[in-house]
Amino acid sequence: MELCLECGCTSLNKYGEELCGDNVEISRNGDYTTLVLADGLGSGVKANILSTLTSKILCTMVSNDIDMYECVETIIQTLPVCKERGVAYSTFSLIHVNNKGEGYLFEFDNPQAIYYHEGRCTDFDRTALDICGKKVYKSDLKLSKDDCILVMSDGTIHAGIGMILNFGWQRPQILEHLNNNIKPTMSARAIACLLASACNDLYLDKPGDDTTVAALKIREKLNVNIMVGPPVDKEKDDFYVSNFLSGDGKKVVCGGTSSMIVARYLKTTVRTSFDFPDKEVPPIGYIDGIDLTTEGVITLRRLLQLSERYLSIHDLTPKTFTKTDGASLLATVLFEEATDIKFFVGQSVNVAHQGLPIDTTMKLKLVEKLAENLRAMGKSVILNYD
């Protein structure tokens, strides 16, 4: 079983502010992933500059194996001093871990990180360190499959103050909410949105502080091969399909012609569903041996829209797809389940599209933009053209 790391984050801006005073930076270097969530002093432009500087400096230095003492010293000497308060710092939470789940967590003045392990949320063992006069907490990490770490800015524990709650959202309440709602199949992004959305509700959609949640999850790798369109040379059909079907993981076919070619290769037929869960998305099909069969360009166009919404850090809707139309089913496979995605893009002109405002160029642009968004989600994406 091969494991990998995935990250997800989302933010709420303080009500009335255009910029968020928190910032999340993620870096991957070899087997190691470094995630830094920084919360700048105050709010608005100043806080945004402080948090951005802090997260980028820390992430770059730690990912290059520079000692933490030197990293914190650099932060203290680099950040500009606030004239009003006479202090200049940004709080931070830093995770540095490899694909085996081994690494460490450093925390400075942010709410304590939450450890999701074996279906329950708990705390880490923390060791207090004195680094350049600052008290920084360190936790050694040894993560198992489906474990998740949540780090957050203090907007989470301030949620609801003066509104629904007198003293904010206390940590035991946060843990209880997560215990009741996290599911092992959820992605890191879905878990981060779960907590941020609850905070937004407590703020009555008017956050009194910048609120950011970032999650890092260790999970099993899942390869997904997706075939979009037939190859230019029809004589290459069998070779093309055999490559598409090779390897482990899930297999997805998009497009009527592609479905026919795959079904013929597998010596079976395409069975079309007559259900229309969404009137704007064509129905799915079924091929024995294929995990998901959908229509082509229209479904991909809707999938691209779903990917834009999924990536928006300000969209707090649940990142799980309950609908059963082709685009939603495809979104579940690619956004939530897949870690490594390989596209098999055929560039043959589709006869069925003659007379319609659809051409090969449009399909290629859809695939390329979708691949770009999938990479932004942290997926490994390969495009094969034929």
> Whole-angstrom Cα distance, residue 288 to residue 367?
25
* pLDDT exceeds cutoff 70 at 25: yes
Residue with tokens 């103050």: 161
Q: How many other C-beta atoms lie within 10 A of the C-beta of residue 314? A: 11
For 224, the 3-state DSSP assignment is strand
Q: What was the pLDDT predicted at 162?
A: 67
pLDDT tens across 65-100, in order?
999 889 988 887 777 666 666 555 789 999 999 999
146 — alpha (psi -120 to 50), left (phi > 0) or beta?
left
Yes or no: say if 96 and 34 are a contact pair by the CB < 8 Å rule. yes
Query: 196 φ, ψ to 5°?
Result: -65, -40
Structural domains present in the chain: 3-220 (3.60.40.10), 223-385 (no CATH)
Residue with tokens 């099993």: 220
**Assessment of whether the complete model's pTM goes beyond 0.95:** no
Q: What was the pLDDT predicted at 68?
A: 86
pLDDT tens across 130-173, in order?
988 888 999 999 999 999 999 999 999 988 776 666 666 889 99
C-alpha dihedral, 253 to 259 to 263 to 268, nearest 10°: 100
End-to-end CA distance of the chain: 32
pLDDT tens across 227-270, in order?
998 888 888 889 999 999 998 999 999 999 999 999 999 999 99
For 335, the 3-state DSSP assignment is helix
Strand order in the sheet with 120-122: 3-12, 211-220, 148-152, 114-117, 120-122
- DSSP for 124-164? ---EEEEETTEEEEEEEEE--TT-EEEEE-TTTTTTTBTTT
CA distances 138 to 106, 302, 360, Å, are 5, 44, 53
* pLDDT exceeds cutoff 90 at 367: yes
> Whole-angstrom Cα distance, residue 34 to residue 93?
11
